[in-house]
Amino acid sequence: MKIKQVVLNDRPKLIQLFESITIFTPDEQEVIKELLDTYLYNPNQKDYIFFVTQEDDQAFSSFICFGPTPMTKETYDLYWVGTSPHHRRKGLAKKLIEFMMEYMRERGGSIMRIETSGQDSYNETVAFYNGLNFTEEARIKDFYKKGDDLIVYICRL
Amino acid sequence: MKIKQVVLNDRPKLIQLFESITIFTPDEQEVIKELLDTYLYNPNQKDYIFFVTQEDDQAFSSFICFGPTPMTKETYDLYWVGTSPHHRRKGLAKKLIEFMMEYMRERGGSIMRIETSGQDSYNETVAFYNGLNFTEEARIKDFYKKGDDLIVYICRL
């Protein structure tokens, strides 16, 4: 397994990976594809970067999308991370987030932000983020929809 | 004075308005122009909308940029609001925000979010938002840079 930055030729395989991750809703799939196309087709943008893990058989097993938060000095947003159902429970998402931390450190980054739904917290997400030294620093009630809060996780490097 | 939605022909006058608002830093000016061009040149995007107040002499006296927050059901982000130095203290920003509230209500919107710098809070901003029923619901320390927190204001309609 290696981590590689996504290039234009990777688009079909990456779309396939997105679509295999059925825990993403159709709305979420749309947003992720939009970000990918902004990243691939707008050479002037600096807000979104995509990396994947590529297996020995060349398959993409997981991806991450992150970028420097506009107008901040040392803050990065982790926008999306996801793993193919065939490659779960191997620590790939954790590896990609650790890769992002290293990427940030090399560029003077010190704060990583994740915005996520409170509904995600019923599954493994909270334990996962806590294990990576993220803490819940803010919560906006009913943000996504009634009964579905926004939770902001922060990791300070 | 009337409120009108921005169209492609308005671009030069709007850029002029942005540049007259010297409380925006060069970085902020860049981000605002990027959003404007996304709004004007990408007909598929639905995230950003621009309106201006136009005076009787056709000058643009203030502007607002907002949009439905992706993946939420009833939430809108107020991204930017600003007034020409020649037209301050006339309540234009307040009028534009009230216009946005009305716009939201007509579309089932119920939560307005503003993300702003803690450093803005030393001036009139806090009083301004409080007067419009915004409350500080979250604060992320050192988010913009060391000593400069992110404050999230929420208004529930």
Judged by DSSP in three states, B51 sits in: strand
- Compute the distance between CA of residue A61 and CA of residue A87 in angstroms, rounded to an integer: 6
Averaged pLDDT for residues B57-74: 96
Contact residues, chain A, for B113 at CB < 8 Å: 140, 143
Q: What percent of chain B has pLDDT over 70?
A: 97
Which of the residue ranges A136-140, B51-55, B127-131, B147-151 would you say has the lowest mean pLDDT? B127-131
Give the ipTM.
0.87
Averaged pLDDT for residues A147-152: 94
Contact residues, chain A, for B72 at CB < 8 Å: 143-145
Mutation target for A interface from B65, B72, B76, B113: give the one with most A CBs within 10 A: B72
Higher pLDDT, A66 or A132: A66
**Segment B81-119, tens digit of pLDDT:** 999 999 998 999 999 999 999 999 999 999 999 999 888
Give me the residue from B75, B142, B144 closest to A71, CB to CB. Answer: B144
Predicted local distance difference test score (pLDDT) of residue A130: 83
Most confident stretch, A6-15, A116-125, B34-43, B118-127: A6-15
For chain A, say whether B152 makes contact (Cβ under 8 Å).
yes
- Compute the distance between CA of residue B22 and CA of residue B85 in angstroms, rounded to an integer: 8
Contact: A138, B142; criterion CB under 8 Å: no
Q: How confident is the model at residue B49 (pLDDT cuts 50, 70, 90)?
A: very high
**Segment A92-131, tens digit of pLDDT:** 999 999 999 999 999 999 999 999 988 865 567 778 888 8
> Helix/strand/coil (H, E, C) string of A101-146?
HHHHHHCCCCEEEEEEEHHHHHCCHHHHHHHCCCEEEEEEEEEEEC
The model's pTM is 0.89
Contact: A71, B138; criterion CB under 8 Å: no
Residues 6+ apart with CB under 8 A from A57: none
Residues 6+ apart with CB under 8 A from B20: B84, B85, B86
Judged on CB neighbours under 10 Å (0-12, 13-18, 19+), B33 is: middle
* Minimum CA–CA partner of B154 in chain A: A140
Residues 6+ apart with CB under 8 A from A98: A132
